Structure 1
């Protein structure tokens, strides 16, 4: 069934119904299928990427209306360019399809040149164009706006942000398309995974709370997890990287470098209740016990040398201070240092004599 894709040209891909559907409306199943094709036929990876971009360009081109005069000028330009192609070589069907693909690319280019003042189509705009019965919510105010989704989930939109989704969200999955930044509180439903598509980021959850930030003009797009865990994929469709995030962890995708990295959020929040946190009071307790308790309270990994801190004992409590403020106090008391590497906090050079 997939053998035909071995010899596919650019023109073949942009005329393939299944490929067109995926290029205009990507989903996890489609991503996996075409990634598999690229892995099976590595020489086709670049062709697939070019074909996908061509489909998106043509989809954008077909949306705005233009007058017949402009259409005539465009086709005249295409005809003149095709007339310049040498006729000595026999033109078989495959070569004709290549010329047709070239003509489509020329058409796209000419249209772009005639509309330099138009706002370019964004990935967000391209995605929501194909939604059936779409519903769009935009925050045009200076304060946050809360949107209740049909499945019971809640989205808090920051200024200038917007989301789109199928009107009833009654399909096999729940999909939301984001432009900007929003905090999601997803109602748990194992039977219907929840997806957030934001630029190059695809976030998959069953039920949790997290923040996604993806502004088209910013180099960095990110996902920060508040509760639960999420799976994040990032990058172009055939070169995607993925990570699984836990509370107080974040993933940052650097667009120019096409690099995905993980780390801790700027201000980690406790993952236990306030009542449980109030019990984190220590009187002349081993520092190892304090570090272990902090790790559990904030859901983060704290690494240290147990033997090196074996003689350290402290009296302290966890109240209004942030995690890093608490670590500052502890490390000052035992003359140690701490550093954050990825999602792990490392304690070094303690002096407990």
Structure 2
């Protein structure tokens, strides 16, 4: 299977990559050298982002937390807008020519500012006047049809998938940084060995110090899963105090949590299947009709009903990058011999049609 071609936004918002470019060391040099050897299709974006970061002055930005969050959401909107694209992108050799900058200037400026904001936040920290007691519980929500990006009080970056919410206290105090997730989110956690970062969802705790990972925990839609991009995490059960089992996963591994926690499955994962949603890629892997409908309703902000039998073991597979809802439904119509109608935001799928 062809590996994903990461775009410039991926690198410019990747804390580990930015830190390496600004402050390389033998370990990070080795990591990124091996990374680009294993992902040659991303070489163009890799070196474009590196050249951009090397030209940034990170000390001039003076912005608020709200400013950083707004810029991050602009980047997300640019990279995940659901436009219809029928042509495959052509290969291009990266050159810092004026014509190249002309085509991506606006996006590059936004990304540069975003990285500058992020670095400024990490270097200067929170001013004394902004420090408050841990009293207010904040809940951020990504509505159906949208994704939401944010920074947490410690500088950690979170991207919420559509139909998800994240709750946390206004300021992390004590010896932990705890958040509660409903739905799906990507976390890029600021490293702090003194304060564990804990994601609680569906009776499971994912414990980290500083890393990037994806947690999928939509209610009534399959088992909870955690996929690790880099670093290390420990996954624990919160439902049974007598169960002291802790399962560790490594980069490139995913845990699928079973009802009996000790029987949870750890295996390798496909990057696009787990993280592609951040880049506007809708992925189905052996999806049943309930999972298929749930994803479409969140992704496109529609309501879907089924006329006819809906107990088929459909095992739907497909990958749709920035495609319209109609394109996805036409693929379903062809693959499963069904029909559909669209009336405003109401979709009806007709099954059991006679050939």
Is the pair's TM-score, using the shorter chain for normalization, greater than 0.5?
A: no
Report the TM-score when normalising by structure 1: 0.37
Report the TM-score when normalising by structure 2: 0.37
Q: Which has the larger radius of gyration?
A: 1
